[in-house]
Amino acid sequence: MTPRRQRMIVIGLVLAGVAVAVLLASAAFQESVNYFRTPTQVASGDVPATRSIRLGGMVADDSVARDPGSLTVRFTVTDYANNVDVVYTGVLPDLFREGQGVVTRGRLGADGVFEAEEVLAKHDENYMPPEVKEALANAKKAQ
Amino acid sequence: MWRLLVRWFHQLASPPYFYRFAGRVAPWFGVVGGLLIVAGAYGGLALAPADYQQGDGFRIIYVHVPSAYLSMMAYVVMASAAFVGFVWRIKLAHAVAVSAAPIGASFTFLALVTGMLWGKPMWGTYWQWADARLVSELVLLFLYFGYMALRAAFEERDKADRASALLAVVGVVNVPIIHYSVIWWSTLHQGPSISKLDAPSIDASMLVPLLLMIFGHTFLFVYVLFERLKGEVLLRERQARWVRKLVGTTA
């Protein structure tokens, strides 16, 4: 075996070893690498009630209700299969809107309402000018 | 034809030949990159419409996306060069890896900072430790730092070349993790907009300047890489006769 070949094998083995280690680690920690849980996971009881978790999904249309005179707001997070009602007191990010993505951190109450301590807007990957959005909405309505 | 290409490749690995080659080619990359960036910046900042959700804030993608792309691209260049240098003991390949590292680290830093500045108004937070995309990009920055620090720890250049090459090659595992993090796991960071196989999820009026910026930054990267390489080659060959002749000292 030439030294060149030897070096190639050494570096290949090291790389393969690290890759396998990373693969195993990320498979083992799959759940904790995920940033949030979905309403379906919450509905199936997959979520600990004692620990703080992140719940992610879309803010359901016509679900946002603001408490007059306070910063408390109630809304529903949906993945279009299951829904979770959320209550939150605080300032919402600018991009918080019905029909847009959201990630909330908090605890699932005994009554099934998710009490959020933090609400972040999850922006999607769509970028377009307002006129295009309007045209899309009109086309949808016309259908 | 093939033989000619192989001969040219061997010639390119000779430092004096490469030094002249880089000196001739680099300015063109600089000029083209500069023009593309000026055109892309004008298109992105003046011509492209505001986003329907984010308003003018979305325009930070014209720096963020090219930086993030090149932070990974530079790493692939660095790791490939380190691999070639390690296996075939080609000194010029190590010089390429050394020269690419600080450029890649700069783009990584820029991608992180622009992302954080965008994140605060849009997401509502600068940083989330639980987000796989954010953390894997930060790991990339530390890989660059680790590579540079490891090199600095060796007195002999040959030893530094070999040890740091191993780190550079191993670290390449992180690159697909960064890219696919938003697909494999749930993240706060949005998914890919332009590298999808079906239609891109970004309007053409916004996409064209972005592509100009991506190409412009890539040319800029090659330009800076060549300029850094010229310095690195001179430093490594400072005892050689061609360098002495070049700088005019015969001592």
Q: Is the distance from CB of A103 to CB of A58 less than 8 angstroms?
A: no
Q: Are residues A22 and A47 in the same domain?
A: no
d(CA B109, CA B125): 18
Q: How many domains does chain A have?
A: 2
Residues with Cβ within 8 Å of A120's Cβ and at least 6 positions away in sequence, in order, are A93, A102, A103, A104, A105, B123, B124, B125, B128, B188
d(CA A88, CA A106): 9
Q: Where residue B250 falls among pLDDT bands split at 50, 70, 90?
A: low
Q: Are residues A51 and A3 in the same domain?
A: no
Reduced to 3 DSSP states, what percent helix, strand and coil does chain B have, rounded to the nearest 5? Answer: 80, 0, 20
Q: Where residue B251 falls among pLDDT bands split at 50, 70, 90?
A: low
d(CA B90, CA B98): 13
Name which of A19, A54, A128 is nearest B52 (Cβ-Cβ): A128
Whether A42 is covered by a domain: the verdict is yes
pLDDT digits (tens, 9 = 90+) for A25-61: 888 777 778 899 999 988 888 777 778 899 999 999 9
Q: Is the distance from CB of B34 to CB of A103 less than 8 angstroms?
A: no
Whether A71 is covered by a domain: the verdict is yes
Q: Are residues A70 and A14 in the same domain?
A: no
The residue among B38, B181, B161 whose CA lies nearest residue B97 is B161
**Residue A85 domain boundaries:** 36-122
Whether A86 is covered by a domain: the verdict is yes
d(CA B215, CA B217): 6
Whether A75 is covered by a domain: the verdict is yes
Checking phi first, is residue A65 left (phi over 0); if not, alpha (psi -120 to 50) or beta? Answer: beta
Residue A126 is predicted with a pLDDT of 83
Q: Are residues A66 and A45 in the same domain?
A: yes
Q: Are residues A45 and A99 in the same domain?
A: yes
Contact at CB, B190 and A123, closer than 8 angstroms: yes
Q: Are residues A27 and A46 in the same domain?
A: no
Q: Are residues A109 and A46 in the same domain?
A: yes
Min Cα–Cα distance to chain B from A127, Å: 4
Min Cα–Cα distance to chain A from B201, Å: 5
pTM of the predicted model, to two decimals? 0.91
Whether A20 is covered by a domain: the verdict is yes
- Predicted confidence (pLDDT) at residue B197 exceeds the cutoff of 60: no
Min Cα–Cα distance to chain A from B51, Å: 5
Whether A135 is covered by a domain: the verdict is no
Whether A132 is covered by a domain: the verdict is no
pLDDT digits (tens, 9 = 90+) for B135-165: 999 999 999 999 999 999 999 999 999 999 9
Whether A130 is covered by a domain: the verdict is no
Q: Are residues A42 and A99 in the same domain?
A: yes
Q: Is the distance from CB of B92 to CB of B18 less than 8 angstroms?
A: yes
Question: pLDDT exceeding 90 applies to what percent of chain B?
Answer: 77
ipTM, two decimals = 0.85
Q: Where residue B199 falls among pLDDT bands split at 50, 70, 90?
A: low
Residue A28 is predicted with a pLDDT of 78
Instruction: Look up the CATH number of the domain holding residue A40.
Output: 2.40.50.140
More confident residue, A109 or B249: A109
Contacts of B202 in chain A (CB under 8 A): 125-128
- Helical spans, DSSP H, in B89-203: 91-122, 132-152, 157-171, 174-184
Average pLDDT over residues A8-12: 89
Weakest-pLDDT range from A4-8, A135-139, B111-115, B212-216: A135-139
Q: Is B235 on the interface with A (CB under 8 A)?
A: no
Q: Are residues A66 and A108 in the same domain?
A: yes
